[in-house]
Amino acid sequence: MAEEVAAYLRDHPDFLTRRPELYRTLAPPRRVHGENMADHMAAMVAAERSRTRGLEAEVQAAVASGRAGATLVMCVRLAVLALMRSRDVMETVTQELPALLRVESCTLLNEPTTHASGRQAEATFAFRRAGFLPMPPGSLVRLVGRGRDARVRTEVTEAAMLHAEAAELVTRDALVRVPLACGTPCLLALGARDAASLPTRQTTTTLAFLGRIVAAALSR
């Protein structure tokens, strides 16, 4: 078996060159065997350094994401305080929250209720009068996802509907379910120009909390 391997390597001298990952599993040769062996040692070191750089990049990305997530948590806390003292929730959401959350726009949208009874119909009319933007029936589930409370998107679609006049500035957004007691489907849309404002990792819980706070403020 060893002779077959040796014969194959002699017939294919570039075999290890084309498969540098194998150097990580090979025992390093001694330098006393000559410069060719020393080249193998250099290749093994290069392969390990390449792997280490890859791991370092992953760690740095995780750290950056964690910091961005922590920053978002602090921003949401400030937004909660603003909503707690707000006398006009729509004005607070659209005028104050963008600066507090470090985003370009915050909008509230809701779906029309077809064949709605009493309370839902009244809520829909009140939302329109208060300045809520309309969205087609089924938009909440389609955009956020069935059973999901929040979603950060790096590819923005339907920007004009979701972010109105700020649409051209938005490069990523967060779509948050606002669970109203009346049952009317309602969405909080955050539009950001800077990707760091809306990190994609470990943010769903924080954004979902913001959605619940907005719902509580609207119900006052």
Find all residues with CB under 8 Å of 178, minimum gap 6, and list them.
108, 186, 187, 188, 211, 212, 214, 215, 218
Contact between 134 and 128 (Cβ < 8 Å): yes
Contact between 201 and 69 (Cβ < 8 Å): yes
In this prediction the pTM is 0.65
Mean pLDDT over 182-189 rounds to 89
Domains of the chain (ranges plus CATH)?
88-218 (3.30.450)
The CA–CA distances, whole Å, from 112 to 48, 59, 82, 100, 186 equal: 59, 46, 28, 30, 10
* pLDDT reading at 62 higher than 50: no
Phi and psi for 191 in degrees, rounded to 5? -115, 125
**pLDDT for 1:** 77
Mean pLDDT over 196-212 rounds to 88
pLDDT band for position 219 (50/70/90)? confident
Rounded Cα distance, 211 and 220, in Å? 15
Contact between 142 and 157 (Cβ < 8 Å): no
State the burial class of residue 96 (Cβ atoms within 10 Å of its Cβ: 0-12, 13-18, 19+): middle
pLDDT band for position 112 (50/70/90)? confident
Rg of the chain, C-alpha, whole Å:
28
Q: Which one is predicted more confidently, 80 or 23?
A: 80
Name the nearest CA neighbour of 185 among 130, 123, 129: 123
**Per-residue pLDDT tens digits for 73-107:** 888 888 888 988 888 989 999 999 999 999 999 99
Report CA 78 to chain centroid distance, whole Å: 20
